[in-house]
Amino acid sequence: DVVMTQSPLSLPVTLGQPASISCRSSQSLVHNNGNTYLNWFRQRPGQSPRRLIHMVSNRDSGVPDRFSGSGSGTDFTLNISRVEAEDVGLYYCMQGTHWPTFGQGTKLEIK
């Protein structure tokens, strides 16, 4: 299976400051069809995961534009331009190019 490795695992951020989460895969996530199926999810305490970004950089409906995704091949990043209090939670990357696998999660908290 493809191993997804996130860093950091803990991310304390000051309100209004940027944040960045890295996700690396053990194999290329480029599918035979040319697309890259890398998604980002956020899970708030006591809630189910919510998809934020699909196919590397496509923001889902209702997701603020301070969230952006980038990357290619095996190296991907989720950026938050200015962290707000509502952004607290666990962030997961997940690939669907191969048998689906998730990263171990990054806990974003406010300093």
The contact set with another protein (CB under 8 A) reads 31, 35, 37, 39, 41, 47-51, 54-55, 60, 92, 94, 96-97, 99-105
Closest CB 16 distance from another protein, rounded Å: 30
Cis peptide bond upstream of 8, omega within 30? yes
Closest CB 2 distance from another protein, rounded Å: 12
Nearer to another protein among residue 31 and residue 82 (C-beta): 31
Q: Which amino acid is it at 6? A: Q
Closest CB 106 distance from another protein, rounded Å: 11
CA 32 to mean position of chain CA atoms:
23
Closest CB 43 distance from another protein, rounded Å: 8
The beta-strand segments (E) located in the chain are 4-7, 10-13, 19-25, 38-43, 50-54, 58-59, 67-72, 75-80, 89-95, 101-102, 106-110
Nearer to another protein among residue 8 and residue 18 (C-beta): 8
Nearer to another protein among residue 68 and residue 81 (C-beta): 68
Other Cβ atoms less than 10 A from the Cβ of 104: the count is 13
DSSP class of residue 34?
S
Nearer to another protein among residue 60 and residue 81 (C-beta): 60
